[in-house]
Structure 1
Amino acid sequence: MTAVGRALARLRGRSLRARMVLVHSLTLTAVCTAMAVATVLVQRYYLIRDLDQRVTDAAEHSQGGREHAPAGAKLGFLNERGQHTGTLAALMDGQKIATAEVVTDDGPRSLTAAQCAALDGIPADGTLRTRTVPGLGSYRLTAVSEDGTTMLAGLPVDGVQRMIDSLVAIEAGIAGVGLVLAGSVSAVAVRRQLRPLRRVAATAVEVSHAPLDRGEVSGLTRVPAPDTDAGTEVGQVGVALNRLIDHVEWSLSERQRAEEHMRRFLADASHELRTPLASIAGYAELMLTGVDSRKIEPELAWRRVSDQSARMTGLVEDLLLLARLEEGRPLEAAEVNLATLVGDAVWDARAAGADHHWQLVLRLDAPATVTGDPSRLHQVVANLLANARVHTPAGTRITVTVETADGHCAIRVRDDGPGVPADLLPTVFGRFTRGDASRSRAPGAAGGAGLGLAIAAAITQAHGGRVEVDSAPGRTEFTVTLPLADAVAAHISLMPS
């Protein structure tokens, strides 16, 4: 465990490839070591068991040889052919060695007193024991007794140990060669497997060097398609990185678009506010310098200052209304009959634009009742009618239709005027968008700030509806669609009046 801990500690600070190769090598080393140890232990068990069996057979053979041996040759059976070199036999007197011999290459040889002393004390119970005999090495021994005669037999263990040592050396050599080959193959395989990850890392580095703090952010580098296979871990990383880059690019584009919109809005608002402020300042100066000299009538100057103040106040109130609608502040929620509301708005518009032909059409399959703020909904209709009246010449027919179908109520304001140019349609509901250049303004009509349609769209969206426009020369139609009271959701994001 200590060696494994040191190896794992060395993994810190290395590259991923080195870590993977080292982990593979450690795993393979552990497996090979476990297999080698298991093989050696099993082999040693079987060899010792075989040696024990041969020792037992030798003891039994010594008893039989003693019975058939000539007088005075108690261990004469050792001279028989087939005896293994190193076979040891002894005749015991109690637990003392009376006589003992060992088979050598030159035949049986008697043991010395010291060697015999090492064999003393072995009981004749047939149990296998291991003793070290001076000059002969380790022996596996057993003693058996029959007819009052005890015989001891033994075989050397050194042969078994040499075989086990040879097995360990062979397995170590094979394991070493295998580890070298496996490490090499693992290194090549890991390098190939990590190539896509290196490409993913290169993509991330390239994106990190992109100037994201300025200019238009687009065309950021993506992970190549071959490295975005969701079936692999590296491919999943590539897919996640591409999604992150897409999100970053989109977010930065949206932020840039919002900043550009804000700059344009501030510029337009400043311009619109500067005009009445300049008029107020001019008339105030004229009043200071011209009243005494009777160059200007005070009533006229005050009336112009009041008109410009009212214009500036209306512009500021419209901007505040748009800001509140964008914040989603809750509005008054009441049941509103759109047929009655539109009828009143058309009547007011007819009084203001008597030189236009007005027509109201009701197509109601169900009561045109919606949930919302009556004053704000009236403002939506009034703005659309004012837009149609102001931007069309005298004699234009303006048809207002209220119809219900499929749980919604639609208010359509259609005129047969010159229409909205195609290049203006995408931004017709934007702030400070004016179509005076394309749609004829009624003579003497005051110029608006270009917020009427923007306010109408914002109020409609706050009521859960939508406003659309369809325009061509000779026909322009604005459509406001709102959910009926029975189909509206419990929560409506409106703002207080």
Structure 2
Amino acid sequence: MSAPPVRRRRPHRLSLRARLLVITLVLVLAALLGSTAALAVLLERSLVDQLDDRLQAAAALAAQPPVVLVAPGAPAPQVRNAVEGALTGDVHLVVLRPDGAVQRVVRPATGSPPALPPLDAAAVEARGERPFEAPARAGGHAWRVVATPAQGGTVVVAVSMAETDETLRDLGVLALSIDAVVVVLVAGAAWFAVRAGLRPLRLVETTAASIAHGDLAPRVPDLASGRTELGRLSAALNGMLDRIEAGDAARAATADRMRRFVADASHELRTPLFGIKGYTELYRMSGLPERADVDRAMGRIEGEAARLARLVEDLLLLARLDEDDASGGLPLRLSPMDLRTLAADALHDLHVLDPGRPVTLTGPGGGPPGSAPVLGDEARLRQVTSNLIGNAVAHTPPGARVRIGVGTHAGEAVLELGDDGPGMTAEQAARVFDRFYRADDGRGRAGGGGAGLGLAIVQSLVAAHHGRVEIDTALGAGAVFRVLLPLHAEAPQHAED
């Protein structure tokens, strides 16, 4: 069975400002109409109650004994005038027999009289002199009626509700007019209020449009408190823009470093490959007639192949160091050790590489060497010292003094290697750990030098041990490379000084 199609909500045709304005006006209009209707109901009830009170008073006056309304020639005008004085508007006053038939019309209605229900003695007694409403016979305004028992019959007093209806109608017209004025005023005020309230959203829209065109520099200004919705939205957008801009800058820097890395790697790999290719082509073209020439060419090919192998191994090591530990990067076999062992071995290696070079073993910055216990991979840390020694031999003139310092300082284990070579400028020192960077002009490479990966490997291996590498140098004042690693209290104590 196929999945039911997903219903997509149609986008709103009205803008947010228009929708807010419409919702505000609808709510205000509903409140005004509701209050007007409630006021009309309450006023109608009050007017009817007042009319009923006067009607009952007039009925009581008309029913007072002696009942003169049924006697021929009785002074009915006096009763009629008394009733008319108690009531206003059109009045209808009749006397009914006990069976409900009309005995006498004392005061006829000027308009359409009320259509009275059956009012015999039993019906009148059941109503209990309570006012009730009756329609007009020929249509028109309704009547309020009271039937009161009297001597020999029933007195019925009715008054038209025309005045009450007109009062309610006039009030309704006035209230609706006021409501219309209020709606217009509220619409104007709401338009300005919504426009001012949505101004930050327009700034957000402008900023988003700039971002869409590739400009990540603009930021949403802080126009509202951080505890409001707009304030939190502005802070969230600015934070997002900061992360996007930082991410773009990091990606651009990474892409630039990758381009330089590929270019430098291609150049370094091409040099030994072209050397090997040149000697093989020379051999194929019979350009090496003597055995000594062949041996010399094979020696050069072997040297270039070894150089190529070292370069590939260094690149693979750096690639593994660049991997995240969680994804299976370079495994470290950590164990307690003392950096004095590495310093002593470095001293012996320098004597072997350059017997005529003066080398001293001291503490950090001078003084006697000290213990430097760490938790590290001894093979990888030996690679660090080997690269530092090779860098010192390659970039200092023969006979230049080298100092190896080992110990602790400021709660860290320190292994440093200093030389009295030509030193480096601040710009060269800032880039000395970059891959394939060689400060040839400032330090004078001897013996061809390397590919410029040794110090990059040193920095990566030390960082893998949660340490750091520092350099102190100045042009003409030599250089000191300082490896700082976290101390480990349980390292064994070695005494190879």
SS in 2 for 1:335: strand
- Residue type of the partner of 1:37? A
Kindly indicate whether residue 397 of structure 2 is the aligned counterpart of residue 398 of structure 1: no
CA displacement at 1:268 relative to structure 2: 0.6
Q: How does 1:10-29 map to 2 (within 5 A)?
A: 12-29=12-29
Q: Superposed, which structure 2 residues align to 1:447-486 within 5 Å?
A: 447-472=449-474, 473-486=476-489
Residue of structure 2 equivalent to 1:41? 41
1:109 aligns with 2:108: yes
- Give yes or no for contact 1:318–1:451 (8 Å, CA) kept in 2: yes
Between stretches 428-437 and 154-163, larger displacement belongs to 154-163
CA distance in 2, matches of 1:487, 1:246: 44
Superposed CA offset, 1:12-46 (max 9, x none) = 30122211221111111111111111111111121
Q: Aligned partners of 2:262, 2:437: CA distance in 1, in Å?
A: 14
Alignment partner, residue 215 of structure 1: none
Q: Deviations over 1:238-272 (max 9, x none)?
A: 44444333333322222121111111111111111
Q: 1:214 maps to which residue?
A: none
Whole-angstrom CA distance in 2 between matches of 1:306 and 1:141: 130
Shift of 1:305: 1.1
Match of 1:86 among 83, 90, 112: 90
Q: Which residue of 2 aligns with 1:249?
A: 245
Q: Specify the code of the residue in structure 2 equivalent to 1:222.
A: P
Identity %: 33
In 1: Cα distance, 2:132 partner to 2:162 partner:
15
* Pair 1:412-2:416 in alignment: yes
> Conserved in 1, the CA contact under 8 Å of 2:334 and 2:375?
yes
Q: Which residue in 1 is equivalent to 2:297?
A: 301
**AA paired with 2:473?**
S
* Alpha-carbon distance in 1 for matches of 2:59, 2:227: 69
What is the rounded CA distance, in whole Å, between the counterparts of 1:287 and 1:11 in structure 2?
A: 77
| C-alpha separation in 2, matches of 1:151 and 1:335 | 122
**Cα distance, 1:58 vs structure 2:** 1.9
Matched, 1:202 2:206: yes
Equivalent position to 1:431, from 435, 438, 443: 435
* 1:346 pairs with 2:347: yes
Alpha-carbon distance in structure 2 between the residues aligned to 1:148 and 1:120? 14
How many angstroms apart in 1 are the aligned matches of 2:286 and 2:116? 147
Tell me, in whole angstroms, the C-alpha distance in 1 between the residues paired with 2:369 and 2:50.
Answer: 105
Which digits, 9 at most, give the CA deviation of each residue in 1:123-171, with x for residues without a partner? 2312222111325742112223356653322222232222112111111
Counterpart CA distance in 2 for 1:89 and 1:10 is 68
Q: 1:456 deviation in Å?
A: 0.2
Q: Which moved more, 1:413-422 or 1:144-153?
A: 144-153
Alignment of 1:311-390 (within 5 A): 311-327=307-323, 328=325, 329=329, 330-362=331-363, 368-390=372-394
Q: Sort the Cα spacing of 1:331 and 1:93 in 2 relative to 1 into closer, same or farther, 3 A.
A: same
The verdict on how the C-alpha distance between 1:95 and 1:139 changes in structure 2, with shifts beyond 3 A counting, is farther
**Structure 2 CA distance for partners of 1:175 and 1:111, relative to 1, 3 Å:** closer
Judged with a 3 Å threshold, the aligned counterparts in structure 2 of structure 1 residues 297 and 100 are, in CA distance, closer, same or farther, namely farther
- Per-residue deviation, 1:458: 0.1
Any stretches of 5+ residues in structure 2 without a counterpart?
1-8, 492-497
Tell me whether 17-26 or 219-228 shows the greater mean CA deviation.
219-228
Question: Corresponding residue for 1:3?
Answer: none
User: What is the correspondence of 1:235-246 to structure 2 with a 5 Å cutoff?
Assistant: 236-246=232-242
Q: 2:262 aligns with which of 241, 266, 269?
A: 266
Q: Which residue number in structure 2 is paired with residue 222 of structure 1?
A: 218
Cα separation, partners in 2 of 1:355 and 1:157, compared to 1, 3 Å: same
Counterpart Cα distance in 2 of 1:223 and 1:447? 49
Q: 2:90 and 2:118 mapped to 1: Cα distance?
A: 15
Q: How far off its partner does 1:416 sit?
A: 2.1
Scaled by the length of structure 1, the TM-score of the pair is 0.84
- Contact 1:59–1:142 (8 Å) recurs in 2: yes
Q: Which residue of 2 aligns with 1:58?
A: 58
For structure 1, the 5+ residue unaligned runs are 1-8, 103-107, 211-218, 489-497
Give 3-state SS (helix, strand or coil) of 1:88's partner: strand
Aligned residues: 465
SS in 2 for 1:434: coil
Residue 180 (str. 1) matches residue 188 (str. 2): no
Q: Is the 8 A contact 1:140 1:154 kept in 2?
A: yes
Amino acid paired to 2:311: L
TM-score, with length taken from structure 2: 0.84
> Within the alignment, does 1:133 sit opposite 2:136 as a pair?
yes
Deviations 1:77-117 (A, max 9, x none): 11336243423333333350433536xxxxx3389999676
**Greater Cα shift, 318-327 or 168-177:** 168-177
Aligned to 2:430, the other structure's residue is in SS state: helix
Conserved 8 A contact 2:435-2:452: yes
State the distance in 2 between where 1:160 and 1:366 align. 111
| Residue in structure 2 matched with residue 492 of structure 1 by the alignment | none
**Cα pair 1:100 1:116 within 8 Å, conserved:** no
Provide, for residues 348-390 of structure 1, a one-character-per-residue CA deviation record: whole Å limited to 9, x for no partner: 1221122221111247998522222111011111111221222
RMSD over aligned Cα, in angstroms?
A: 3.1
CA distance in 2, matches of 1:369, 1:238: 51
Q: Is 2:112–2:137's contact at 8 Å kept on the other side of the alignment?
A: no
CA contact (8 A) 2:207 2:218 kept: yes
